[in-house]
C-alpha cells in the first residue's frame, strides 16, 4: 500500500508535520522529486528541525527512508543534514539512496545564482539551490546519475563534456571564474565514497516491499501550483510535485498506489513570485504572517518572509483535483482564532466575469478574489483532540472549505507538534 502526501497549493502547507505523523504507521518513507530547495518543518520530542532533503520519516527508528531516482541529489547537503539530525540526538536513521538519482553539481548551484543575478528584477525568485539548471541538464542528457560517479572513465568523460558547456557560459555570459575539471573530479569522487554505504537499487527494494504488503509513504515537496505543466508556469519548479509523478520519481509500481493526502493551510501562504490572488498586504498581512506556522511565516530554506492571504478555495479545489486527492489535511487551523470574521475566496472575477475554475496564468494575473465572509471563533483551539470539541464556527469553517474543495477533510491540524491533530 502506497500513500502519497502532497501539497495542494504553493508549498509550505505543513506536509512535513503530516508525514512525520503518518511515518509512525509506515515502514518506508520516500522522497520522489525536488531537492534541497524547500524545507519541511518538523517539531517532535527531539526538537525543531527544518529538513530539506532527508525524508520526514527519519525520526522514526523503524522507518526506512529512501531518496528516489526523481530527486535532485545534493550529496553534501544530504550528508550534512544527516549529521545534524544525529547530533541532535536522533538515532541514526535508516537511509537508502537510489543509484539512479541524479547528482546536483556545484556548477548547477553557481549557474542558478548567476542567472538570477543576470535577470535582475525579472528573476524567478529561485531558492538558488541549483534546481532549474539541474533538471535542465537531466533532460538535456548531460546530467550524471549517482551510479556513474563510481566509474572513473565515465565520470571524466561526462564532466569534460559538461564543463565545455558550463565554462563557456561562465566565461562569456556571466563573466565569472571557470571550473577546474581535475578539482571537480576529485570532489565528486570523494563525495561518492562518502555516500556509498547508502547507495543501492531502491527500485528493486520498493517493488519487493510493495509485493510483501509493506506500508510506503511518498513525500512530495512544494505543491500543485508549482507543477511545470499544471501550475502557474513559468513561476513553477522544475520537477513535478504531483502525486501522479510519485510512482515514477520514487520507483514504485502503479498498482500499489492507494490514498493521496493533499495538504492545505487554513489560510494561504506562498514563497517566491507569481500571481497570488488572495494576497494580503500591510498590517493585515503582517498580523497573519507573525501568527502563522510555528514561528511566523518565514521560509524554512531561505528565511524569506512568506506572502500570506486568505484561503483560496478556487486554487485549492484545482490543487486537490490535479493531485487526485482522496483525503485532505487542513493545517494551521489554530492560527485563525484571532479573527472575528474570516474571508474565504470562493470565486475569481476576471474581466468582469465570475468563475470558480482555476484559469491559465495570463488570466490568473488579472483575477480578483470574490470573498464570502465566515464568522470566526475567537478562541485558542490548541489542545483540542476531538472534532466535536472544536467551536461550532471552527467546524463550520472546515465544512465550508470541504464542500468548496470537493475532497474530504480527514485531518485538522491545530498546532505544529506531531500530536496536535484531529482525525475525523
Ligand atoms: P511543508 O514544506 O509543507 O512541510 O511546510 P513548512 O514546514 O515549510 O511550513 C509549515 C509551517 O507550519 C511550519 O512552520 C510548521 O511548523 C507549521 N505548522 C504545521 N502545521 C501547523 C498547525 O497546525 N498549526 C501551526 N500553528 N503551525 C503548523
The predicted structure's pLDDT at residue 301: 66
Of 12, 18, 41, the one to substitute when testing ligand 1's pocket (max ligand atoms within 8 A of C-beta) is: 41
Is the pLDDT at 112 greater than 70, yes or no? Answer: yes
Nearest to 124 by CA among 11, 36, 238, 222: 238
Q: Tell how far the Cα of 413 is from the centroid of ligand 1, in angstroms.
A: 9
Render pLDDT for 242-255 as a digit per residue (tens, 0 to 9): 999 999 999 999 99
**pLDDT for res 123:** 87
Quick: pLDDT tens for 252-280.
999 999 999 999 999 999 988 899 999 99
Ligand 1 nearest-atom number relative to CA 13:
3
Q: How far apart are CA 186 and CA 33, in angstroms?
A: 27
What's the CA-to-centroid distance between 293 and ligand 1, angstroms? 5
Q: Positive or negative CA dihedral for 58, 63, 64, 69? A: negative
Whether pLDDT at 7 is above 70 = yes
C-alpha 256 – ligand 1 centre gap (Å): 29
pLDDT tens, position by position, 335-373? 999 999 999 999 999 999 999 999 999 999 999 999 999
Contacts of 413 (CB under 8 A, 6+ apart): 14, 17, 18, 329, 330, 331, 332, 333, 420, 421, 422
Choose among 169, 334, 135, 154: nearest CA to 241.
135
Q: Is the four-CA dihedral 142, 148, 154, 156 of positive or negative sign?
A: positive
Which residues are catalytically annotated? 12, 40
Which residues does a 6 A CB cutoff place in the pocket of ligand 1? 7, 11-17, 38-41, 43, 293-294, 300, 331-332, 334-335, 413-416
Q: Would you state the cell numbers that stand for residue 50, as one nine-digit string?
A: 527544518
Mean pLDDT for all residues in the chain: 95
Among 196, 242, 183, residue whose Cα is nearest residue 78:
196
| Ligand 1 pocket: which of 294, 296, 333, 390 to mutate (most atoms within 8 A of CB) | 294
Q: Where are the beta strands (DSSP E) in 322-367?
A: 327-331, 341-350, 353-355
Helix (H) or strand (E) holding 412: strand 409-413
From ligand 1's centre to the CA of 195, what distance in Å?
Answer: 30
Residue 205: all three cell numbers together: 527494494
- Once rounded to an integer, what is the mean pLDDT over residues 172-193? 98
Q: Which atom of ligand 1 is nearest to the CA of 221?
A: 2
Q: List the grid coordinates of 51.
A: 529538513
Indicate which residue's Cα is closest to atom 9 of ligand 1: 12
pLDDT at 204 over 90: yes
199 or 50: which carries more pLDDT confidence?
Answer: 199
At residue 204, what are phi and psi to the nearest 5 degrees?
Answer: -65, -45
Give residue 300's pLDDT band: very low, low, confident or very high (50, 70, 90). Answer: low
Residue among 214, 272, 345, 245 nearest 38 (CA): 272
Kindly write down the DSSP assignment for every residue of 136-190, as one continuous string: HHHHHT---BGGGGG-HHHHHHHHHHHHHHHHHIIIIIS--PPPPHHHHHHHHHH
Find the 68 Cα to ligand 1 centroid distance in Å: 24
Whole-angstrom distance, CA of residue 217 vs CA of residue 70: 15
Amino acid at each position: 500500500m502506497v500513500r502519497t502526501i502532497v501539497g495542494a497549493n504553493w508549498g509550505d502547507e505543513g506536509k512535513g508535520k503530516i508525514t512525520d505523523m503518518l511515518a509512525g504507521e509506515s515502514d518506508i518513507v520516500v522522497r520522489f522529486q525536488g531537492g534541497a530547495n524547500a524545507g519541511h518543518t518538523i517539531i517532535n520530542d527531539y526538537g525543531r528541525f527544518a529538513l530539506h532533503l532527508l525524508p520526514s520519516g527519519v525520526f522514526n527508528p523503524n522507518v526506512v527512508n529512501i531518496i528516489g531516482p526523481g530527486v535532485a541529489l545534493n550529496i553534501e547537503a544530504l550528508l550534512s543534514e544527516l549529521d545534524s539530525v544525529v547530533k541532535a540526538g536522533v538515532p541514526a536513521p535508516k537511509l537508502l539512496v537510489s543509484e539512479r538519482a541524479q547528482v546536483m553539481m556545484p556548477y548547477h548551484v553557481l549557474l542558478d545564482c548567476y542567472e538570477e543575478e543576470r535577470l535582475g528584477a525579472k528573476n524567478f525568485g529561485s531558492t538558488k539551490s541549483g534546481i532549474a539548471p539541474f533538471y535542465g541538464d537531466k533532460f538535456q542528457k548531460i546530467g550524471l546519475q549517482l551510479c556513474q560517479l563510481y566509474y572513473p572513465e565515465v565520470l571524466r568523460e561526462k564532466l569534460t563534456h559538461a564543463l565545455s558547456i558550463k565554462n563557456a557560459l561562465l566565461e562569456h555570459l556571466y563573466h565569472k571564474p571557470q571550473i577546474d575539471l581535475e578539482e571537480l573530479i576529485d570532489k565528486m569522487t570523494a563525495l561518492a565514497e562518502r555516500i556509498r554505504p547508502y547507495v543501492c537499487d531502491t527500485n528493486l527494494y520498493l517493488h519487493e516491499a510493495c509485493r510483501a504488503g509493506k506500508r510506503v509513504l511518498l513525500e512530495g515537496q512544494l505543491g500543485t501550483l508549482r507543477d511545470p505543466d499544471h501550475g502557474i508556469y513559468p513561476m513553477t519548479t522544475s520537477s513535478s510535485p504531483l502525486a501522479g509523478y510519485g510512482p515514477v520519481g520514487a520507483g514504485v509500481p502503479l498498482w500499489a498506489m492507494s490514498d493521496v493526502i493533499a495538504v492545505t493551510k487554513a489560510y494561504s501562504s506562498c514563497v517566491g513570485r507569481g500571481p497570488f490572488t488572495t494576497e494580503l498586504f500591510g498590517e493585515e498581512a503582517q498580523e497573519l504572517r507573525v501568527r502563522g506556522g510555528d514561528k511566523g511565516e518565514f521560509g524554512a530554506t531561505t528565511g524569506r518572509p512568506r506572502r500570506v492571504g486568505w484561503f483560496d478555495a478556487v486554487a485549492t479545489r484545482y490543487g486537490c483535483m490535479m493531485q487526485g486527492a482522496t483525503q485532505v489535511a487542513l493545517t494551521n487551523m489554530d492560527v485563525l482564532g484571532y479573527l472575528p470574521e474570516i474571508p474565504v475566496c470562493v470565486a475569481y472575477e476576471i474581466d468582469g466575469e465570475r468563475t470558480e475554475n482555476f484559469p491559465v496564468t495570463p488570466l490568473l494575473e488579472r483575477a480578483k478574489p470574490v470573498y464570502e465572509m465566515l464568522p470566526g471563533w475567537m478562541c485558542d483551539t490548541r489542545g483540542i483532540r476531538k472534532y466535536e470539541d472544536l467551536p461550532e464556527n471552527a467546524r463550520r469553517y472546515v465544512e465550508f472549505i470541504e464542500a468548496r474543495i470537493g475532497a474530504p477533510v480527514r485531518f485538522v491540524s491545530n498546532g505544529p507538534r506531531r500530536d496536535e491533530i484531529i482525525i475525523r
